[in-house]
């Protein structure tokens, strides 16, 4: 799957949906960035979380499975090449639905964090929408519901101290273009999305959770 992501690197760097948003603001805020604070950005993609954290004075290390994203370290989220408690905060935004073993990844983030872990991801809406996601993007594994996220945090030894739910949106065609979804699959993807496309925009229910080491 990393080849797919290498090819998409520029699209994710330039994506307006990824470059800004209330979810990004919250992830940055909840990492409590500032001079002297070091943060790990897991599955950094186009590097938007890292950029915003650096603007706030934090020292940031980026990690991603795809070399094309040009992270500081190339590694999967479930095998982070860092010592225990190496970072004040660990962030991971709009990526966990691609991880083959999400619980192992959350445990790794908790292990390398000294204090806090902030994760933001799209949430589960229906099996039909999961099918749409997989048809659009073969690297999609699964979106999870809020209760599942709570159990991942708990099993990773993280106590949830802040939580927000929001509905982001993105241009439906831009969303398909980013993953180069073939033209003949696009109508089917739309049908499977259960009416979540309005005026050319796709609704993306999203959760942001902040956990601290229990
Ligand atoms: C949607 S992009 C991330 C967006 C980025 N965090 C942001 O806020 O703009 C998803 C990223 O997850 C990475 N990825 C996919 N599977 C991964 C895995 N198992 N471990 C680490 N990174 C992975 C991809 O290479 C890609 O860069």
| Tokens 């902040």, residue located | 210
Question: Which CATH number goes with the domain that contains 161?
Answer: 3.40.50.150
User: What is the mean predicted confidence (pLDDT) over 139-161?
Assistant: 98
Q: Is pLDDT at 5 greater than 90 in this prediction?
A: no
Residue 116, in any domain of the structure: yes
Residue 182, in any domain of the structure: no
Residue 134, in any domain of the structure: no
Residues with CB under 6 A from ligand 1: 5, 12, 18, 43-46, 48-49, 64-66, 69, 76-77, 93-95, 98-99
pLDDT score at 94: 98
Structural Rg of the chain based on CA atoms: 16
pLDDT score at 107: 98
Residue 175, in any domain of the structure: no
| Tokens 């099993």, residue located | 155
What is the 5 CA–ligand 1 centroid distance (Å)? 8
Ligand 1, atom 13: closest residue by C-alpha: 43
Six-digit token string for 32: 């409590």
Mutate to test the pocket of ligand 1, among 13, 26, 95, 137 (most ligand atoms within 8 A of CB): 95
pLDDT score at 214: 84
In the chain, the percentage of residues whose pLDDT exceeds 90 is 92
Domain that holds residue 66: 2-125+139-169+204-213
Tell me how far the alpha carbon of residue 146 is from its chain's centroid: 15
Residue 54, in any domain of the structure: yes
What is the 194 CA–ligand 1 centroid distance (Å)? 26
Q: Is pLDDT at 130 greater than 80 in this prediction?
A: yes
What is the 166 CA–ligand 1 centroid distance (Å)? 21
Mean pLDDT of the chain, nearest integer:
96
Pairwise CA distance, residues 120 & 151, whole Å: 15
Residue 131, in any domain of the structure: no
In 3-state terms, what secondary structure has residue 54? helix
Q: Is pLDDT at 42 greater than 90 in this prediction?
A: yes
> What is the tens place of the pLDDT at every residue in 69-126?
999 999 999 999 999 999 999 999 999 999 999 999 999 999 999 999 999 999 999 9
pLDDT score at 40: 98
In the chain, the percentage of residues whose pLDDT exceeds 70 is 100
Mutate to test the pocket of ligand 1, among 98, 112, 206 (most ligand atoms within 8 A of CB): 98
Q: Is pLDDT at 8 greater than 90 in this prediction?
A: no
Residue 44, in any domain of the structure: yes
Taking every pair of Cα atoms in the chain, the longest distance, rounded to a whole number of angstroms, is 51
| Number of domains composing the chain | 1
Q: Which of 50, 52, 99, 93 is nearest to 79 (CA)?
A: 99
Which atom of ligand 1 is nearest to 76's Cα? Answer: 20
> What is the tens place of the pLDDT at every residue in 21-34?
999 999 999 999 99
Ligand 1, atom 27: closest residue by C-alpha: 45
Pairwise CA distance, residues 191 & 144, whole Å: 21
Q: Is pLDDT at 38 greater than 90 in this prediction?
A: yes
What is the 4 CA–ligand 1 centroid distance (Å)? 11
Ligand 1, atom 4: closest residue by C-alpha: 45
What is the 116 CA–ligand 1 centroid distance (Å)? 20
What is the 43 CA–ligand 1 centroid distance (Å)? 4
What is the 34 CA–ligand 1 centroid distance (Å)? 24
Residue 195, in any domain of the structure: no
Ligand 1, atom 20: closest residue by C-alpha: 76
pLDDT score at 194: 82
165: Cβ–Cβ under 8 A, 6 or more apart, which residues? 123, 146, 205, 206, 207, 208
């Amino acid at each position: 799957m990393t080849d797919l992501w290498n090819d998409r690197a520029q699209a994710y760097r330039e994506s307006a949906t990824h470059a800004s948003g209330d979810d990004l603001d919250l992830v940055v805020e909840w990492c409590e960035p500032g001079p002297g604070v070091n943060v790990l950005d897991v599955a950094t993609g186009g590097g938007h979380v890292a950029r915003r954290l650096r603007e706030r004075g934090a020292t940031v290390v980026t990690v991603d499975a795809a070399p094309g994203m040009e992270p500081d370290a190339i590694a999967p989220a479930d095998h982070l090449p860092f010592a225990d408690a190496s970072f004040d905060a660990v962030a991971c935004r709009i990526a966990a639905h691609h991880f083959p073993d999400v619980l192992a990844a959350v445990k790794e983030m908790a292990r390398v964090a000294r204090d806090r872990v902030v994760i933001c991801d799209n949430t589960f809406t229906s099996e039909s929408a999961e099918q749409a996601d997989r048809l659009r993007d073969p690297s999609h594994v699964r979106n999870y519901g809020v209760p599942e996220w709570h159990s991942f945090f708990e099993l990773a030894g993280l106590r949830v101290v802040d939580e927000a739910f929001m509905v982001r949106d993105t241009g439906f065609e831009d969303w398909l273009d980013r993953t180069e979804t073939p033209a003949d699959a696009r109508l089917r993807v739309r049908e499977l999305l259960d009416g979540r496309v309005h005026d050319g925009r796709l609704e993306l229910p999203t959760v942001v959770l902040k956990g601290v080491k229990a």
